[in-house]
Amino acid sequence: MRRVYIRKSMVEFEPRLVALTCLYLASKAEESIVQARNLVFYIKRLYPDEYNKYELKDILGMEMKVLEALDYYLVVFHPYRSLSEFLQDAAINDVNMNQITWGIVNDTYKMDLILVHPPYRIALACIYIASVHREKDITAWFEDLHEDMNLVKNIAMEILDFYENYRTITEEKVNSAFSKLALKP
């Protein structure tokens, strides 16, 4: 869904319909196809107020628009494979550091990093953050990679900025935002 809105406006494509269509397309891409009519049926049962206006024809009509917005390219590469290889190559035997690194990679999916940066650089940035956090000196390993560390550090800063912004979100702010949304027609 994020990839659609990199190229299209939320005004142009209604977000709830795009979400349903992306769910439908994802099921097709992963070869666990959910019939569109079943998707409409269950969504209406689970969320009767929000999704009641969408019919089968709406999802099927939006399918081509979403595919066009994605240039018919549904493949997204993930940093997990690179991360596994890098952790083995660096010979990091610290279980806690490995867990922290995997957790950071998981958190990057809450951002749009995967759409902007190569997956291997995201993996390197996560290893960098975890090594600083655990006070592990792996600078020699990073130097052997001959990777532009400025790019890796910039990605690391984006991740850390996300954590900093995430920390400032309080329950009161979330409730206030939901109450404002509820007031809109």
The predicted structure's pLDDT at residue 26: 84
Percentage of the chain surpassing pLDDT 90?
36
The predicted structure's pLDDT at residue 182: 65
54, 16 Cβ separation under 8 angstroms: yes
85-100 burial, b at 16+ Cβ within 10 Å, e below that, comes to ebbeebebeeeebbeb
Whether the predicted pLDDT of 43 surpasses 90: no
For 16, 31, 55, the CA distances from 60, given in Å and listed in that order, are 14, 17, 9
At which residue do the structure tokens 């910039």 appear?
Answer: 154
54, 17 Cβ separation under 8 angstroms: yes
Give the angle subtended at the CA of 120 by the CAs of 118 and 111, to the nearest 5°. 60
Whether the predicted pLDDT of 114 surpasses 60: yes
Separation of alpha carbons 24 and 26, rounded Å: 5
What average pLDDT does the segment 4-31 reach? 82
For 43, 61, 171, the CA distances from 21, given in Å and listed in that order, are 12, 9, 31
The string of DSSP letters for 58-80 reads: HHHHHHHHHHHHTTT------TH
- How confident is the prediction for the chain on average, in pLDDT? 86
